Chains A and B, each alone.
Chain A
Amino acid sequence: MVQFLVEGRELVAEASRDLAMLIARPDDVAALDGCFRAIHTLKGSTGLFDLQPMGAMLHAAEELLAAIRAGRPGHAEDFARVLEAVDQVDRWLDALEGDGALPADADAAGRAIQARMRDAAPALDQAEAQLPAVPDWQLSAAFTGLSGTAIRYTPRVDCYFAGDDPVAIVAATPQLIALSIAPRDAWGELEHYDPFACNLVIEAVSAAPRGEIEAAFRLVADQVELAELTAAEPGAPAGGMTTRRTLRVDAARIDHLGILADELVTAKNGLVDLAIAAEALPGGHTLGQALRSRQAQLDRLVGDLHAAVGKVRLAPLAPLFARFPRLARETAGALGKSVRLELEGQEIEVDKTIVDGLFDPLLHVLRNALDHGVEPVERRRAAGKPEAGLVRVTARAAGDQVVIEVADDGAGIDPARIRNLAVARGVLGRDAADALDDRDAVDLIFVPGLSTATTVNAVSGRGVGMDVVRAAAARLGGKVTLSGEPGRGTIVRFVLPMTMILTKLMVVTCGGERYGLALDSVVETARIAADRLVVMRSRQAFQFRDQVVPLVILRELVGGSSQGALAPRGGAERVVIAWVGGELVGFAVDAIVGRMDAALRPLDGLLSGAPGLAGSTLMPDGSVLLVLDLAELLS
């Protein structure tokens, strides 16, 4: 069942994508084939479980598509009906995932959609009589995986008297590749067996062109049904799409592999100390050098391994994105708005943890965009915008990060309104609020309690605010910001790490604790004599090269010690000079311990809300090292 849910989602996504294309361009043959295949496979899978309403509804959808494939003109409305069925399947998958069963009204809901599909296809019966397509009988199990034309021949009971030999007729069919003969009705008491009453159903598959098969059966055409068999079902789609060789592996195993790789990195770092210790021994220089070169080799291999494991964990965003069109349609429908959803960048691959963790925050933002962003139709018309709102969800890779944006063309966010709201809700005083520039004012929306909607409705504003979105992004090691222009729209931007990457850290001590700092922001370490320190206003600074650099006592920021003033030790301070938010800042620390590579883990539990912490990692001795986010510490 778990497998079915995973594959079901994929097939729903495939079908939805193709249907969306077909609604725009009803004559897209590739999309029609793709969608037909997805629905056909989906229908096949329902047979393995007790999902009769789903199977029946999909069968109707398949028939409608088959008729269009066979030549009946397809209209956008037809595909919209099929999409409705696919959306229903997606909802049912939600129910199956949650309760393990279809909802009680599944039968009625399925029937209603089937009826609409029949209405959408007035020409269906006619078209089918002309060119029947998919078998509407249960194919013999022996025929699974064959392609060609399926033949079902039910000779009349009196056909022997009429001089027909059904077996000879079938045997004369060109390119016969499979045959099955079964009794039409159970044999019953053989005491009364009538050798001249035909009681057979003959099924066969032929690879010959349709016309030749029809010619072979022309004398008994009224007793024969023909249908196209789609090749190689279930599983690999026939032709067209490139099949990726994939292996489904339990995520827990990959996680375990990831943890092992992380720990290997940690264990490897221990070798550096060992090499230094060996070099310090009398006569240990050669051994130390050898250890170092081995360490460097191991370093590279472990780095590669870590990267490879990280790649295994990569998953495309497509399945995540694919869930949004339906949810957007439903939400927009509930709000009485017309909205177009554009998705872009589904092919981008990011760590599976991030894909999984993004659904809730992205959905929340998407709902906000539909509810609060896109205006009601009248207001859009008045503003000279197209009636249908546009929401774009895009993903793009930016170095080792992925940027995901949810942009709408709605009313945007008015900084003044946010300021007022912040004052009204007691988040900020009037003066403080007015002192904020527009960008910071808009950012207030992420403050707990502020974005909770004043009116609660079914779509958004269920008491869950944007603070939850920001927290979710932080848990994934990323950030979320909001921008936009009043009247033009809003953009919510997530910036997330693509993989659980190795970060180079500088380890420092201060206030008796060890901390990690991201090495890439560190410019230099220096010893600054006390007499080089100047006091500017209440802050301390020092001259570094050509500029004056503010000095921050890291001990004070991390709250490790109540001792605020500089502790003069030999009249000089150990200072780490780093780029923070585009400026050089000096951080006074007690000592610089060394450097290490670490797999940064997002903080969880009690620490997850702590400001100024970027994550944690394990030290070679097994202790936990907290890694500081300098920019956040200073803000």
Chain B
Amino acid sequence: MTVTRDGATIRLQGRCRVEDAEPLASLLHATPGLTVDLGDCEGLHAAVVQALLAFAPKVVGTPSDPVLRDLILPLLAGERQRGQRPI
């Protein structure tokens, strides 16, 4: 289990793989406004990145992996278009 829900926060831990994309998308879709914590995340599969981009939840935590931290996190934490998100 690398995707866990803890109250209003979803924690992504360890290496998130392609199969984590589906539960993550379901959680984000079912409960808008959840925060995603990447503090313990060690890697994100493209499908997970894609889900985070699509649902655009608030992202917190700083992963230690340099690529994740320096290149991918800014893409998730920056200002993004949330226009088509159904509420």
Measured CA separation A165–B85 after assembly (Å) = 25
Inter-subunit contact A196/B47 (CB<8 Å)? yes
Inter-subunit contact A193/B71 (CB<8 Å)? no
B25 to chain A, nearest CB (A): 4
Identify the closest chain A residue to B76 (Cβ): A181
A140 to chain B, nearest CB (A): 11
B39 to chain A, nearest CB (A): 19
Inter-subunit contact A196/B75 (CB<8 Å)? no
Tell me whether A186 and B75 are in contact in the complex, defined as CB-CB below 8 angstroms, given that A171-B67, A196-B18, A196-B22 are known contacts: no
Let me know if B84 is at the binding interface, CB within 8 A: yes
B2 to chain A, nearest CB (A): 14
Return the CB mask of A162-206 against B: 1 if under 8 Å, else 0.
001111100100001011111100111111010110111000000
Let me know if B60 is at the binding interface, CB within 8 A: no
Inter-subunit contact A180/B46 (CB<8 Å)? no
Tell me whether A195 and B25 are in contact in the complex, defined as CB-CB below 8 angstroms, given that A179-B72, A190-B54, A190-B85 are known contacts: yes
Inter-subunit contact B86/A165 (CB<8 Å)? no
B54: which of A164, A167, A171, A193 is its contact (CB, 8 Å)?
A: A193
A200 to chain B, nearest CB (A): 6
Inter-subunit contact B49/A167 (CB<8 Å)? yes
Measured CA separation A160–B19 after assembly (Å) = 10
B43 to chain A, nearest CB (A): 7
Chain A interface extent, by class: 20 to 34
Identify the closest chain B residue to A184 (Cβ): B50
Residues of B within 8 Å of A198, CB to CB, are 46-47, 50
Let me know if A155 is at the binding interface, CB within 8 A: yes
Residues of A within 8 Å of B25, CB to CB, are 193, 195
Chain B interface extent, by class: 20 to 34
Inter-subunit contact A190/B29 (CB<8 Å)? yes
B84: which of A155, A178, A188 is its contact (CB, 8 Å)?
A: A188
A293 to chain B, nearest CB (A): 69
Report B25-65 residues with CB < 8 Å from chain A CB: 25, 29, 43-47, 49-51, 53-55
B75: which of A171, A181, A189 is its contact (CB, 8 Å)?
A: A181
Inter-subunit contact B29/A160 (CB<8 Å)? no
Residues of A within 8 Å of B86, CB to CB, are 189-191
B41 to chain A, nearest CB (A): 12
Measured CA separation A190–B45 after assembly (Å) = 19
Inter-subunit contact B18/A160 (CB<8 Å)? yes
Residues of A within 8 Å of B29, CB to CB, are 190-191, 193
Inter-subunit contact B75/A167 (CB<8 Å)? no
Tell me whether A183 and B53 are in contact in the complex, defined as CB-CB below 8 angstroms, given that A165-B18, A190-B86, A196-B18 are known contacts: yes
Inter-subunit contact A195/B47 (CB<8 Å)? yes
Residues of B within 8 Å of A164, CB to CB, are 46
Inter-subunit contact A200/B50 (CB<8 Å)? yes
Measured CA separation A514–B85 after assembly (Å) = 87
Inter-subunit contact B55/A168 (CB<8 Å)? no
Inter-subunit contact B44/A167 (CB<8 Å)? yes
Return the CB mask of B67-87 against A: 1 if under 8 Å, else 0.
100011001000000001110
Inter-subunit contact B71/A171 (CB<8 Å)? yes
Let me know if B10 is at the binding interface, CB within 8 A: no
Identify the closest chain A residue to B28 (Cβ): A190
Select the residue from A155, A186, A190, A195 with max chain B CB neighbours within 10 A: A195
Identify the closest chain B residue to A195 (Cβ): B21
Measured CA separation A124–B51 after assembly (Å) = 40
Measured CA separation A160–B18 after assembly (Å) = 7
B31 to chain A, nearest CB (A): 13
B45 to chain A, nearest CB (A): 5
Identify the closest chain B residue to A180 (Cβ): B75
Residues of A within 8 Å of B75, CB to CB, are 179-181
Tell me whether A176 and B54 are in contact in the complex, defined as CB-CB below 8 angstroms, given that A165-B45, A165-B46, A195-B21 are known contacts: no
Residues of A within 8 Å of B24, CB to CB, are 195
Measured CA separation A193–B53 after assembly (Å) = 12
Inter-subunit contact A168/B45 (CB<8 Å)? yes
Residues of A within 8 Å of B85, CB to CB, are 190
Residues of A within 8 Å of B49, CB to CB, are 167, 181, 200
Measured CA separation A190–B84 after assembly (Å) = 8
Select the residue from A164, A187, A200 with max chain B CB neighbours within 10 A: A187
Residues of A within 8 Å of B43, CB to CB, are 168
Report A361-414 residues with CB < 8 Å from chain B CB: none
Residues of B within 8 Å of A180, CB to CB, are 75
Inter-subunit contact A199/B50 (CB<8 Å)? yes
Inter-subunit contact A166/B46 (CB<8 Å)? yes
Select the residue from A167, A182, A191 with max chain B CB neighbours within 10 A: A167
B55: which of A155, A171, A188, A190 is its contact (CB, 8 Å)?
A: A190
Measured CA separation A171–B75 after assembly (Å) = 14
Report A291-305 residues with CB < 8 Å from chain B CB: none
Q: A179-B71, A190-B55 are in contact. List 18 more A-B contacts (CB 8 A).
A: A155-B46, A160-B18, A165-B46, A166-B46, A167-B46, A167-B72, A171-B67, A176-B71, A180-B75, A181-B53, A181-B75, A183-B53, A190-B84, A191-B29, A193-B54, A195-B21, A195-B50, A200-B50
The 10 closest A-B pairs by CB, nearest first: A195-B21, A167-B46, A179-B71, A166-B46, A171-B67, A195-B25, A195-B22, A187-B54, A165-B45, A160-B47
Seen from chain B, the residues whose Cβ lies within 8 Å of a Cβ on chain A are 18, 21-22, 24-25, 29, 43-47, 49-51, 53-55, 67, 71-72, 75, 84-86
- 6 A-B Cβ contacts within 8 A? A166-B46, A168-B45, A193-B51, A195-B21, A195-B25, A198-B47
Seen from chain A, the residues whose Cβ lies within 8 Å of a Cβ on chain B are 155, 160, 164-168, 171, 176, 178-183, 186-191, 193, 195-196, 198-200
